């Protein structure tokens, strides 16, 4: 297991950076390009480990995918050109690959076996397996298909009207992709609208899809056509530097070309709620996705209550928001976030454990955390638990300590942000 000693003499961050391409959009661009006929060119692709797992999965099914740095060219004959892989498919650590891919494979006339690393093998897959079985898919695995490895015997599916009982864009997307391969109309109706990259991008590829608020309808057996996709910067990755600038004295950071999809901008709302100095500039739209530049200055944040419909819009940012709350005035309450227990780690437990070791006063609850502010953090020995977002949270926390912080298993950060430490050092050296 790798380890990194974090000890920074310079604590102030200044300058401009761009963050890697959006992970959610990068995954989907490869998947939809593989299902489409013709060529799909993807620029600013996130070459992180999770997205590379998606590329490998479709290469195993015969799709031509070539990558040069952050540009990916997909050439496919469409759904009918996909082939049965001759080996089980390794999904690595990627829950997005697993759940969306299950929806696609359920509609293909082949047999598939999916497996992943230790972390992914503990994450629940029954939430997508259940609706796929209702559509006619044959799925089995550990604990009756709840856990990987999972075997899928795909084939003819029936459309479904589905109301998810979890707030998960992965589940919604998996069912919509299965619906793409059926005869008829499949409907997914959410209680709270989750990130809508699947809906936006399927339209760009020519799918017959209709969105009415939190209800999405897709008409199946419509051929997709390859197109060019420019991936915006990932706001979930940007969040770590937005918070770092807010809580370190004298900092002033601008992150350029960040995705501003309304289903993903909850971090901006939270920073505003906590009185952080933040500006969004140069708003524009590229490939159906809004983008812009975000500037944050050192601030004196105030505690708040974070709950309800905003939670799906910040589900990946809650670890770094928890760190922000340790520096806010007052007590911050995060609730309605039980979904955190089913991420790369149990993120409620891992955030509470980690920040407590660094001196925070934080208590975990069934669905969130209670965090006391104005807390002086100190150094210590920490572990990312193999979770990239916990690893990056620890790195930002080390900017607040006088002592060194030892981070074990820092390599997992490459899952979503391979150049994280390079960008951190560039902002500290200005």
286 in the same domain as 407: yes
Q: Could you say which residues of the chain have pLDDT below 50? A: none
293 in the same domain as 148: no
**Nearest residue to 62 (alpha-carbon basis) of 80, 85, 40, 41:** 85
Q: Are 176 and 104 in contact (CB under 8 A)?
A: no
Last residue of a domain, one of 198, 230, 262: 230
214 in the same domain as 241: no
Confidence at residue 286, expressed as pLDDT on a 0 to 100 scale: 82
Confidence at residue 344, expressed as pLDDT on a 0 to 100 scale: 83
223 in the same domain as 364: no
Rounded to whole angstroms, how far apart are CA atoms 97 and 410?
A: 22
Q: Give the chain's length.
A: 430
DSSP string, 103-170: HHHTTSSSEEEEE--TTGGGS--HHHHHHHHHTT-EEEEHHHHTEEEEEEE-------EE--SS--HH
What is the spatial order of strands in the sheet that 405-408 belongs to?
Answer: 3-6, 405-408, 380-383
Rounded to whole angstroms, how far apart are CA atoms 142 and 150?
A: 7
32 in the same domain as 11: no
Confidence at residue 2, expressed as pLDDT on a 0 to 100 scale: 81
DSSP string, 215-278: EEEEESS---B---EEPPB-HHHHHHHHHHHHHSTT-EEEEEEEE--TTTTHHHHHHHHTT-EE
- From the candidates 50, 316, 387, 409, give the one annotated as an active-site residue: 316
158 in the same domain as 261: no
Q: Is the pTM of this model over 0.75?
A: yes
**Nearest residue to 382 (alpha-carbon basis) of 420, 355, 415, 411:** 355
Confidence at residue 315, expressed as pLDDT on a 0 to 100 scale: 94
Distance of CA 66 to the CA centre of its chain: 23
Last residue of a domain, one of 206, 230, 254: 230
Is 316 labeled as catalytic in the residue annotation?
Answer: yes
Rounded to whole angstroms, how far apart are CA atoms 244 and 19?
A: 14
Confidence at residue 335, expressed as pLDDT on a 0 to 100 scale: 97
Confidence at residue 287, expressed as pLDDT on a 0 to 100 scale: 72
48 in the same domain as 161: yes
341 in the same domain as 281: yes
CB-CB neighbours of 79 under 10 Å: 18
269 is written with which tokens?
A: 């709302």
298 in the same domain as 163: no
CATH number at residue 397: 3.65.10.10
372 in the same domain as 282: yes
Provide the residue range defining the domain that includes 76.
23-230
Q: Count the domains in the chain.
A: 2
Q: Are 145 and 124 in contact (CB under 8 A)?
A: no
189 in the same domain as 315: no
Distance of CA 119 to the CA centre of its chain: 15
Query: What is the dihedral angle through the alpha carbons of 81, 87, 93, 99, rounded to the nearest 10 degrees?
Result: 50
Question: 52, exposed or middle or buried, with CB in 10 Å at 0-12, 13-18, 19+?
Answer: buried
223 in the same domain as 89: yes
Last residue of a domain, one of 182, 205, 230: 230
């Amino acid at each position: 297991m790798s380890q990194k000693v974090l000890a920074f003499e310079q604590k102030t961050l200044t300058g401009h950076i761009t963050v890697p391409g959006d992970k959610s959009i990068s995954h989907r661009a490869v998947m939809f390009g593989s299902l489409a006929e013709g060529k799909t060119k993807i620029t600013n692709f996130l070459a992180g480990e999770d997205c590379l797992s998606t590329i490998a999965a479709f290469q195993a099914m015969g799709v031509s995918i070539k990558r040069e740095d952050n540009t990916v060219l997909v050439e496919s004959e469409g759904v009918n050109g996909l082939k049965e892989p001759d080996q089980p498919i390794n999904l690595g650590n990627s829950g997005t690959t697993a759940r969306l891919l299950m929806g696609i494979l359920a509609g293909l006339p082949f047999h598939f076996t999916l497996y992943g690393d230790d972390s992914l093998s503990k994450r629940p897959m029954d939430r997508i397996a259940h609706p796929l079985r209702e559509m006619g898919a044959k799925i089995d695995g550990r604990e009756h298909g709840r856990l990987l490895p999972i075997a899928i015997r795909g084939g003819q599916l029936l459309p479904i009207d589905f109301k998810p009982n979890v707030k998960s864009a992965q589940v919604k997307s998996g069912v919509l992709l299965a619906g793409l391969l059926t005869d008829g109309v499949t409907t997914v109706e959410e209680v709270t609208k989750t990130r809508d990259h699947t809906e936006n991008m399927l339209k760009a590829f020519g799918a017959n899809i209709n969105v009415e608020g939190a209800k999405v309808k897709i008409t199946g057996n419509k051929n997709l056509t390859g197109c060019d996709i420019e991936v915006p910067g990932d706001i979930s990755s940007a969040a770590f530097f937005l918070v770092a600038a807010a809580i370190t004295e004298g900092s002033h950071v601008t992150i350029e070309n960040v995705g501003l999809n309304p289903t993903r901008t909850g971090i901006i709302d939270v920073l505003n709620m906590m009185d952080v100095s933040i500006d969004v500039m140069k708003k524009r739209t590229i490939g159906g996705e809004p983008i812009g530049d975000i500037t944050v200055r050192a601030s004196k944040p105030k505690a708040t209550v974070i709950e309800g419909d905003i939670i799906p819009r910040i589900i990946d940012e809650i670890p770094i928001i928890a760190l922000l709350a340790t520096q806010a005035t007052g007590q911050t309450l995060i609730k309605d976030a039980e979904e955190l227990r089913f991420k790369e780690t149990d993120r409620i437990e891992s955030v509470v454990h980690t920040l407590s070791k660094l001196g925070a006063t934080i208590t975990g609850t069934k669905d969130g955390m209670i965090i006391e502010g104005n807390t002086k953090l100190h150094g210590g020995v920490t572990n990312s638990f193999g979770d990239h977002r916990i690893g990056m949270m620890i790195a930002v926390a080390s900017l607040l300590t006088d002592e060194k912080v030892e981070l074990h298993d820092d390599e997992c950060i490459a899952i979503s942000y391979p150049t994280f430490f390079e960008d951190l050092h560039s902002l500290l050296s200005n």
